[in-house]
Chains A and B, each alone.
Chain A
Amino acid sequence: MGRVTRSQVTDLPGTVGLPLALVIVLILAGLAFGLPRLDRAVPAERAVAAGRPYEVGAGVTIVPPEGATLDLTGTRPGDERGSALFRLGPVQYAIVVQPFDGDLTAAALRLRQRITGTSGYQVTGTQLAVSTAGGLAGIQGGYTAGDRGGRYAVFVAHGFTIEVTVTGADLDLGRTLPAIDTSTRSLRFEGVR
C-alpha cells in the first residue's frame, strides 16, 4: 500500500473553497481593473516629426499639425487598413483608413450615421466640399456632443475611405482648427505597397 502524501491530504479544493474563490476575484479584478490601470499609468503619447508625412495605413499619409503628439491607443497602422490618433492638447484628431466600395456620398452618409449613432452626438450645419493638396475630393461637416464640438471630413480613393474626425471643446477647437485643416489638406494616397 502506498504512502499517503501531504498533497493528497490537502487535495484541492478540500476546505479552502472560500479563500480560493477570493483568489479568483483578485485575478479577475487584476484583469478587469489592474490592466486598464497599468495602461493608463504608461504614457500613450509620442512625439511625431514636425512637417514630415506620417503613414496612417494602406498607403495613406498625412503631415501632422505642428505641436501634435501621436496617441498610441488609437494608432494602428496596417497594409489594408489603419488609424492614427493625434492630440493637440485636449483636441483629438483621428484619421481612419479602411477598404470601401462605395462613392463619396455613401462614405459621408456612413460616417454621419456612425457619429449620430453615438449617444448624445448630433450632426450640425451643412456639408461642404473639400479637397486636399494632392487632389483628393472630400466632404466636410460638423457635429456636437454636449459641451464638445467636432468636425468630420471624409475622402474616397482607390477603394478606400479616409475618415477624419476632430473632437474638442469649442474654445480649443477654434484655436487648433486652422492647423488641423492644413494637416488634413496634406492627406495623400501613396498607393498600397
Chain B
Amino acid sequence: MSEPVRPGADRAAALTRQPAFWVVAALLAVGALRISQIAGRFLSVYPVATVTAILLFALLAVPFWLFVSELDFLEREPPSLRVLAFAWGGLVATTVSIPGSTALDNLIAKFGSPGLAAEWGSALAGPTVEEIAKTLGVVAIVLIARAQVNSVLDGVVYGALVGLGFQIVEDVVFAIGAVAMAGQGDQVQPVVTTFLVRGFLAGVWSHTLFGALAGAGIGYLVVNPHRTRTHRLAIAGLALFGAWASHVLWNSPLFRDGLGDGALALLAVLVFKGLPPLLLILYLVRRAHDQEAAYYVAKLATLRDPQLITAGELRVLGSGSRRAAARRHAAARAGRRGRAAVRRLQRAQAQLAVELSRDPDAATPHCAAVREHRAVLEELGHPEAVEGARSWRHTASTVGTTVVAIAVVWVALSALGGS
C-alpha cells in the first residue's frame, strides 16, 4: 500500500550546490531581462497606466498567494521555492509563450485558414505553449529541490504559484494592450476594465487553476515510486492534458454567441466554461489535501501524548476550516493572544508531524516547541486548541460576506455585460 506522502531528506541540499539550479537561475535571468524590456517599453509610452496595472494586479496576487500558501498548512513549502515558482511563471513561461503562441497561431492560419485561426487560434495556440512552459517550472523545482516535493499537494502548490506568476504578468501585458488599442493615450480606464474582466471575473478559473492541475500530475509522478514509470508519466500527462483542455475550453469561442450580451449571458459563459474545471480541480486538490493531512495526523497520533497533541486537536489539525474554527474559539475565550497562541501551536504541531515523517529521532526539538506553545495556552486558560460551538455571529458573518460577494459579482457582470 502506498503512502500519500513521500518524506524528503531531513535537510535539502543547498540549492546553489546543484548544477540544475544554475540552469534554472540562468533561465530566470533571461526571463527577467526580457520582461524588464517589455515593462520598460510600456513605462516609456504609458507610465501611469503601466504603474496602475502593476499595482492592481500585484494586489490581486496577494489573496491568491495567501490562499495557495495556506493550502499546504501541514507541510509548508519554503518561501524561496514559492518565490521561484512564481518567478518562473511570471518571467520564464511568459517570455517563452509570447513568441511561441504567436507563431503557433500563425501556423494554424497557414495550415488551416485565417478563419480557423481567428476562431480557434487563441483557444489552441495559447494553451498548448503556455501549459507546457508553466509545467516545466514545477519539473524544474523537482530537479533542484526534490526533498521539498513530498506529496501531490506540493505539486499543486508549486503549479498554482507558477500559474499565478504567469497570470499576473499576462494580465499586465493585456491591460497595456487594451490601453494601446483604446488609442486615447495614457489612460487608466482600459486597465480598470481589464482588471475587472481578467482579474476579477476570470481570475478564479485562470492560470492558477490550470497550473495547480498540471502540478498535481508532477507531484504524483514524484511521490509514487511504487508505481511503474509508465503509469506515473501517464498520470502526469493526463493532468497536463486536463490543464490544457480546461484552458482550451475557457479560451474557446463556444457559448460566445447565442446567449446575448447581458449579465446573465456573461454569467452563463462563466458557469459553463469555467465552473466544470474549477469544481474538478477543487475536488482533486481537496482529495490531495485530505490524504496528506490524514498521513501527518496519523504520525502525530502515534505520540499518544496529550501535551503534544490531544485527541480533539488531532481531529482539528487535518482540516483547514476546523483549524480556523479553533483559532476563532481561542479568540472568543482568550482574546487575540489566544488566537495567536493557537496558530503557533498548530504550526508547531505541523512541523513536528513533518519531522516525525522524516526522522523520528530528530523530532525532540520540535516536541519542545509544541510544549512551549502549550504552556502559553495553559497560562491563558485555554489549554486545548479545539473548535467551539458554532456561534451565530460567525454564521451571520459568513452569510453577509456571501451576499456582499454575490452583489459585487452581479454589479461587475452587469457593468461588463452591458445590461
Q: A31-B96, A76-B121, A113-B185 are in contact. Are A119 and B225 (CB under 8 A)?
A: no
Closest Cβ of chain A to B216, distance in Å, is 16
Partner among B19, B45, B107, B222 whose Cβ is within 8 Å of the Cβ of A38: B107
B114 with A72: CB separation less than 8 A: yes
B-side contacts of A27, CB under 8 Å? 132, 136
Report the nearest B residue to A85, measured CB to CB: B114
Q: A12-B221, A72-B110, A119-B41 are in contact. Are A31 and B24 (CB under 8 A)?
A: no
A-side contacts of B110, CB under 8 Å? 39, 42-44, 72
Q: A17-B144, A35-B129, A119-B45 are in contact. Are A72 and B106 (CB under 8 A)?
A: yes
A114 with B181: CB separation less than 8 A: yes
B-side contacts of A75, CB under 8 Å? 109, 114
> Interface extent on B, as a size class?
35 or more
Closest Cβ of chain B to A126, distance in Å, is 19
Q: A11-B225, A39-B107 are in contact. Are A32 and B100 (CB under 8 A)?
A: yes
- Please report which residues of chain A, range 21-76, place their CB below 8 angstroms from some CB of chain B when the two chains form the complex: 21-22, 24-25, 27-28, 31-33, 35-36, 38-39, 42-44, 57, 70, 72-73, 75-76
A39 with B180: CB separation less than 8 A: no
A169 to B144, CA, bound (A): 52
A109 to B185, CA, bound (A): 10
A114 with B183: CB separation less than 8 A: yes
A13 to B149, CA, bound (A): 11
B-side contacts of A82, CB under 8 Å? 118
Q: A18-B20, A110-B184, A119-B45 are in contact. Are A73 and B118 (CB under 8 A)?
A: no
Partner among A17, A36, A109, A111 whose Cβ is within 8 Å of the Cβ of B99: A36
Question: What's the dominant secondary structure at chain A's contact region?
Answer: helix
The reply to whether the CB of B148 lies closer than 8 angstroms to some CB of chain A is no
A32 with B23: CB separation less than 8 A: no
B19 with A18: CB separation less than 8 A: yes
Report the nearest A residue to B146, measured CB to CB: A13
Per-residue CB proximity of A116-130 to B under 8 Å, as 1/0? 010100000000000
Partner among B100, B115, B133, B142 whose Cβ is within 8 Å of the Cβ of A13: B142
A11 to B102, CA, bound (A): 37
The reply to whether the CB of B97 lies closer than 8 angstroms to some CB of chain A is yes
Partner among B100, B106, B226 whose Cβ is within 8 Å of the Cβ of A31: B100
B180 with A32: CB separation less than 8 A: no
Per-residue CB proximity of B215-227 to A under 8 Å, as 1/0? 0000001100110
- Please report which residues of chain B, range 56-101, place their CB below 8 angstroms from some CB of chain A when the two chains form the complex: 92, 95-97, 99-100
Q: A8-B226, A24-B140 are in contact. Are A110 and B23 (CB under 8 A)?
A: no
- Please report which residues of chain A, range 110-169, place their CB below 8 angstroms from some CB of chain B when the two chains form the complex: 110-114, 117, 119
A31 to B44, CA, bound (A): 29
B-side contacts of A89, CB under 8 Å? none
A-side contacts of B185, CB under 8 Å? 113, 117
A72 to B115, CA, bound (A): 10
A-side contacts of B115, CB under 8 Å? 77-78
The reply to whether the CB of B143 lies closer than 8 angstroms to some CB of chain A is yes
The reply to whether the CB of A20 lies closer than 8 angstroms to some CB of chain B is yes
Q: A17-B20, A24-B139, A110-B183 are in contact. Are A31 and B133 (CB under 8 A)?
A: yes
Report the nearest A residue to B233, measured CB to CB: A12
Report the nearest B residue to A73, measured CB to CB: B106
B-side contacts of A44, CB under 8 Å? 106, 110
The reply to whether the CB of B245 lies closer than 8 angstroms to some CB of chain A is no
A-side contacts of B229, CB under 8 Å? 7, 12
Partner among B107, B132, B183, B228 whose Cβ is within 8 Å of the Cβ of A5: B228
Closest Cβ of chain B to A25, distance in Å, is 6
A77 to B132, CA, bound (A): 28
A21 with B24: CB separation less than 8 A: yes
B-side contacts of A77, CB under 8 Å? 114-115, 118
Report the nearest A residue to B218, measured CB to CB: A12
B-side contacts of A36, CB under 8 Å? 99-100, 102-103
A-side contacts of B143, CB under 8 Å? 13, 17, 20-21, 24
A28 with B103: CB separation less than 8 A: no
Residue from B23, B95, B132, B142 having most chain A Cβ neighbours under 10 A: B23
B109 with A72: CB separation less than 8 A: yes
Closest Cβ of chain A to B82, distance in Å, is 19
29 residue pairs bridging A and B, Cβ less than 8 Å apart: A8-B225, A12-B142, A17-B143, A18-B19, A18-B23, A20-B20, A20-B143, A21-B20, A21-B144, A24-B23, A27-B132, A27-B136, A31-B129, A32-B95, A32-B99, A35-B103, A35-B107, A36-B103, A39-B104, A39-B107, A70-B114, A72-B106, A72-B110, A72-B117, A76-B114, A76-B117, A76-B118, A117-B183, A117-B185
Closest 8 CB pairs of A and B: A110-B183, A17-B20, A39-B103, A76-B118, A21-B20, A35-B103, A21-B23, A31-B100
User: A-contacting residues of B (Cβ < 8 Å)?
Assistant: 18-20, 23-24, 27, 41, 44-46, 92, 95-97, 99-100, 102-104, 106-107, 109-111, 114-115, 117-119, 121, 129, 132-133, 136, 139-140, 142-144, 146, 180-185, 221-222, 225-226, 228-229, 257
Q: A25-B27, A72-B114 are in contact. List 8 more A-B contacts (CB 8 A).
A: A13-B143, A28-B92, A32-B100, A44-B110, A77-B114, A77-B118, A79-B257, A112-B183
